[in-house]
Structure 1
Amino acid sequence: MLIVGILIFGYSLRNVKISAVLHDLANLKWQWFLVAVLCIVMYLVLEAVVVKVFMADRHPDFTFKNALRVPLVEQLFNGITPFSTGGQPAQLIAMMQSGVDAGQASSVLLMKFVVFQAMIVVNFLVSMLIGFHFIAEKLQALSLLVVFGFLIHLTVIVGLLMIMYWHSFTKKLVNLLITPVKWFRSAEKFAQMQVSLDSKIDDFYKESLRIKSEGFKLLRVAILTFLQLVFYYLIPYFIMLSLGVTGLNLVMVTSLHILIVMIISLFPIPGGAGGAEYSFSVLFSSFIGANSKLVLAMLLWRLLTYYFGMFAGMFALVIKPDKVK
């Protein structure tokens, strides 16, 4: 992924003078860039706080060091796997390394995932109201990707809510939807798949009962997750301030970043490589006039939102966790 990133940045610099980029870098307002760095740090720290909140009544001796390893390891494996599919199992392994039972760890990660998805949908709804017309004007293809991405996230959260509140109906609906699979698999393998899916739905339903019984804790986690995402979405705004860009609309820049993150999630290449850089360049070119500043802004943005988490995850992976009793 580092090689891919270098190639993408090299391609982005094809029509830009290196001397101009170096000049912009030399005149960077570091105080604003440090605020952007603080934003990504707070994003990771708040996710660790969420893990700690969920683990407080299960393992009071689960340290903050262990909690911080979870989002860092997640960042690494999200960054090197297609569609960020490696993040969830990596978090599970990180918690098990701390001595947490696999069932308990799965329960915590499941609840964290539900809240995270819900907050993403809330943020997307707000950002679409504010910034969708801007994307539709700039590039129609991107607007279609945004709508598609939103529908995927909405489907996930609706599916989770259906299991929580319409358990029996959801099981019947899932068994109905997978019927075409029977045409391509043997009767034995199809039956095994049905049993496995029913078991997963039942497990999630049992955990959802626990979620609903912990209303105050769920509210705390929802607020923390919302703040976590706000810090992440603010990063481009502070990067542009560090480059001396003036007249920025905080709400518009933040909303566009939310939509960019939605677009990235649809690219199968790890980290949305290529699509992320292209989306950023197209949408923020209206705010940043000089090409050299636009390329530098994109580079700094990817360093913070992608590579920072990956390298932090590499360090976290080799740090020995504290064992819980």
Structure 2
Amino acid sequence: MLLIGATFYFLLRKAPLKEMAAAILQANVSYLLLGFSIMVIYVILEGVCIKATMHRMGERPSILRCIGYAFVGFYFSGITPSASGGQPAQIYFMAKDRCNVSHSMIALLLISSVYQISMLIYGVFMYALQYHFLAQSVVQIKWLLLLSTAINIICVMLILLALFFPKRLRECSHTILKGLYYIKACKKINVWQGKMDKLFSEYEAGAMYIRNHPLLIGKLFIITMIRLTLLYLVPFFVYLSLGLKGHTALQMVAMQAILTVAVSALPLPGSVGVSESVFLLLFGMLFTPSFLLPAMLLTRGISFYAVLLLSGGIFSLSSGLKLYKQKEWVV
């Protein structure tokens, strides 16, 4: 909350608030609701990916539970640095529903790696397709874009190593345990090695199963490309809601694709602060000065803050229902 408050203080402290409020109030609500709806579908489609992957490994969570895991992931990713809390929270709730932990880890790692690879491919393709349109704006964030791209490539390589060479991970875990034992930070090394070996045996079996089902990976790529397209269309619907004309959906999608790649690897909860700043830099050529700040507020409000609130509400409601069913509700 402090980061969000600081971000909007610095962005809005010199802004003409009355004119900005007037621009937001005149926005066409139908287009804004359409933008919010596609963001909800964006999260739901992650649940579809979870369902498809877990199903392939013999797990049978319902589609509603998988959609719930997707909203939990969005919520905890949005409030933790580098989205580090999303997958652990999903694994925790999947374990609560009696899903195999190693299968959950494999499923989420696969979905994450496909997402990152798709995001990079999408960004490169759009940059090549709209090079003359994007070149001038991208110069302003060149070093940020290069840094983020490099970090994403390294992360993808590590995830693929985990999926396709899990034996290396087993060896690394043994080395780490021996190091901890040497500095006396781990006393029962044999017990821990046994637990790790059991986990990695299940992990390797799950990874092998996925490697033997390439059609699943193809399906995830298709769904992920659809998800990214939905995410990247949000600025276009905001553009239409403000009654603006002159730029195409393809141009908006291309600009948002570059923005997403540029901020994706930064260690900030929900990329708060940097996303808003980069939006103002990149989209300045698409929105007139009087509409730029309102457009940023509406786009981020739809694509992040509103969905974060919805995800938090779904998480709180589901947690409350579980407590009630377990008769742990405290009045």
Q: Output the CA distance in 2 between the equivalents of 1:80 and 1:167.
A: 30
Partner residue in 2 for 1:300: 298
Q: Output the CA distance in 2 between the equivalents of 1:112 and 1:48.
A: 10
Contact 2:102-2:203 at 8 Å conserved across structures:
no
1:154-193 equivalences in 2 (<5 Å): 154-162=153-161
Structure 1 pair 18/164, CA: closer, same or farther in 2 (3 Å)? closer
Unaligned runs of 5+ residues in structure 2 are 323-331
Structure 1 pair 206/10, CA: closer, same or farther in 2 (3 Å)? same
> Match for 1:267: what amino acid?
L
Deviation of 1:106 (Å): 1.8
Partner residue in 1 for 2:106: 107
Partner residue in 1 for 2:79: 80
Query: Secondary structure of 1:283's match?
Result: helix
Q: Output the CA distance in 2 between the equivalents of 1:167 and 1:74.
A: 24
Q: Output the CA distance in 2 between the equivalents of 1:320 and 1:31.
A: 29
Partner residue in 1 for 2:311: 313
Q: How many residues align?
A: 311
Query: Secondary structure of 2:49's match?
Result: helix
Unaligned runs of 5+ residues in structure 1 are none
TM-score, normalised to structure 2, is: 0.80
Deviation of 1:164 (Å): 5.3
1:222 lines up with 2:221 in the alignment:
yes
Structure 1 pair 305/7, CA: closer, same or farther in 2 (3 Å)? same
Larger relative contact order (C-alpha < 8 A, sep ≥ 6)? 1
Partner residue in 1 for 2:8: 9
Q: Output the CA distance in 2 between the equivalents of 1:250 and 1:10.
A: 31
Deviation of 1:202 (Å): 7.5
Deviation of 1:283 (Å): 0.6
Deviation of 1:297 (Å): 1.0
1:25 lines up with 2:11 in the alignment:
no
Q: Output the CA distance in 2 between the equivalents of 1:165 and 1:269.
A: 29
Query: Sequence identity of aligned pairs in percent?
Result: 21
TM-score, normalised to structure 1, is: 0.82
> Match for 2:12: what amino acid?
L
- Aligned-residue CA RMSD (Å): 3.4
Query: Secondary structure of 1:56's match?
Result: helix
Q: Output the CA distance in 1 between the equivalents of 2:67 and 2:112.
A: 16
Deviation of 1:174 (Å): 7.6
Q: Output the CA distance in 2 between the equivalents of 1:71 and 1:273.
A: 20
1:81-96 equivalences in 2 (<5 Å): 81-96=80-95
1:266 lines up with 2:265 in the alignment:
yes
Deviation of 1:75 (Å): 1.3
Structure 1 pair 209/253, CA: closer, same or farther in 2 (3 Å)? same
Query: Secondary structure of 2:246's match?
Result: coil
Partner residue in 1 for 2:244: 245
> Match for 1:95: what amino acid?
M
Deviation of 1:126 (Å): 1.2
Contact 1:124-1:150 at 8 Å conserved across structures:
no
> Match for 2:155: what amino acid?
V
Deviation of 1:47 (Å): 0.7
Contact 2:23-2:242 at 8 Å conserved across structures:
yes
Query: Secondary structure of 2:285's match?
Result: coil
Query: Secondary structure of 1:28's match?
Result: coil
Structure 1 pair 189/252, CA: closer, same or farther in 2 (3 Å)? farther
Q: Output the CA distance in 1 between the equivalents of 2:293 and 2:221.
A: 35
1:213 lines up with 2:212 in the alignment:
yes
Contact 1:132-1:143 at 8 Å conserved across structures:
no
